[in-house]
């Protein structure tokens, strides 16, 4: 994804729940201005985009029929002393209206080609962590008005003293979550998963850039991708049927120290990298030597063991 695309997402005037008044209070800039700001921050490492790649519902909690699944998220940045901050370039709290999804089904409203951006972490060492409060619910009772709830959450965010770092993460999470939760009347809904997701900065992986992570409860599984906006190449996802094969080949040579990640909704054999299954639908592979780099540069061939949708990523060292 280019910085044009990232800037349009971060500064989208039609973002869920956003009003013109809130955009001014939260200092959401024009996409062209935002693009310039982001590019001026980039160095040899790009910003790390955190994307909601996929969700699998184990139990939608409904006795009859399929559940109505909605989600929301709140991002913050953390300093080394534990204080937190939020700014418009990090990305807004976000969410999505309920969509039908039954037991043991993937949430089909999520696109592997265009997953939602939950947070955009700046390069450099100003911050030590990105934390995202993430929730997935099964709607019960009245239909959940997620756009209205996100307006309430953004209003709560705009009322905070965001011009300087605040205390612990709950200084931002609590008032924004409370506004969203109360607007949704979520006490009547079934909680599938709610978690404070933590990505840490370090010299090796830099917030886990190029890697897929999983977050689970007894009722649902959520998968996130951390993507270096400069160095990660995402190949278009492919849809396969049983015994159909496809070779992913990246546009740049695979190098030692690079990271390869593959994700599948469905069971596939990824050759030397292993097999992806429902219980382990992704793999993260760090290229450890020149021989494996050369082999992977010839392409990654996946063979479906049933209907499957597969996507691959490569992050250069």
Q: Which of 226, 221, 41, 57 is nearest to 139 (CA)?
A: 57
Mean pLDDT value of segment 165-170 = 92
Note the pLDDT of residue 260. 96
Task: For residue 297, give both structure tokens.
Answer: 């540069």
- Residue 71 has a pLDDT of 98
pTM, two decimal places:
0.96
pLDDT of residue 63: 61
| Segment 178-200 mean pLDDT | 96
Q: pLDDT tens-digit profile of 45-94?
A: 789 999 999 999 998 877 666 889 999 999 999 998 889 999 999 999 99
Distance CA 300, CA 317 (A): 18
Mean residue pLDDT of the chain comes to 94
Distance CA 107, CA 68 (A): 10
| Residue-wise burial string across 252-282, b where 16 or more C-beta atoms lie within 10 A, e elsewhere | eebeeebbbbbbbbbbbebbebeebeeeebb
179 with 72: CB under 8 angstroms?
no
* pLDDT tens per residue across span 105-158: 999 999 999 999 999 999 988 899 999 999 999 998 788 999 999 999 999 999
* Average pLDDT of the residues in 208-213: 95
Say what the alpha-carbon torsion angle 177, 178, 184, 187 is, to the nearest 10 degrees.
Answer: 110
Instruction: Enter the tokens of residue 8.
Output: 């349009």
Q: Would you say residue 237 has pLDDT above 60?
A: yes
Extract the tokens encoding 261: 């990640």
């Amino acid at each position: 994804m280019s910085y044009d695309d990232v800037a349009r997402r971060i500064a989208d005037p039609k973002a869920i729940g956003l009003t013109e008044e809130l955009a001014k209070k939260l200092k959401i800039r024009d996409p062209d201005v935002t693009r310039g700001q982001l590019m001026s921050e980039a160095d040899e490492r790009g910003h790390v985009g955190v994307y909601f790649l996929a969700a699998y519902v184990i139990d939608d909690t409904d006795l009859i029929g399929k559940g109505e699944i909605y989600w929301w998220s709140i991002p913050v940045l953390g300093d080394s002393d534990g204080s937190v901050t939020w700014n418009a370039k990090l990305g807004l709290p976000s969410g999505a209206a309920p969509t039908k999804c039954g037991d043991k089904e993937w949430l089909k409203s999520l696109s592997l080609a265009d997953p939602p951006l939950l947070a955009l972490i700046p390069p450099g060492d100003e911050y030590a962590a990105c934390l995202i409060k993430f929730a997935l619910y099964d709607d019960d009772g009245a239909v959940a008005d997620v756009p209205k709830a996100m307006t309430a959450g953004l209003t709560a965010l705009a009322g905070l003293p965001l011009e300087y770092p605040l205390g612990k993460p709950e200084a931002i999470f609590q008032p924004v979550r409370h506004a969203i939760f109360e607007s949704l009347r979520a006490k009547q809904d079934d909680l599938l998963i709610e978690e404070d997701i933590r990505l840490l900065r370090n010299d090796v992986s830099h917030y886990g850039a190029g890697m897929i992570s999983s977050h689970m409860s007894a009722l649902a599984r959520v998968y996130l991708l951390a993507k270096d906006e400069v160095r990660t190449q995402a190949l278009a996802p492919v849809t396969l049927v049983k015994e159909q094969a496809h070779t992913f080949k990246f546009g740049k040579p695979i190098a030692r120290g690079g990271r390869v990640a593959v994700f599948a909704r469905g069971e596939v054999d990824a050759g030397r990298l292993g097999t992806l299954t429902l219980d382990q639908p992704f793999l993260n592979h760090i290229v450890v030597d020149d021989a494996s780099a050369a082999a992977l540069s010839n392409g990654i061939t996946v063979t479906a063991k049933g209907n499957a949708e597969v996507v691959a990523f490569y992050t250069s060292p």
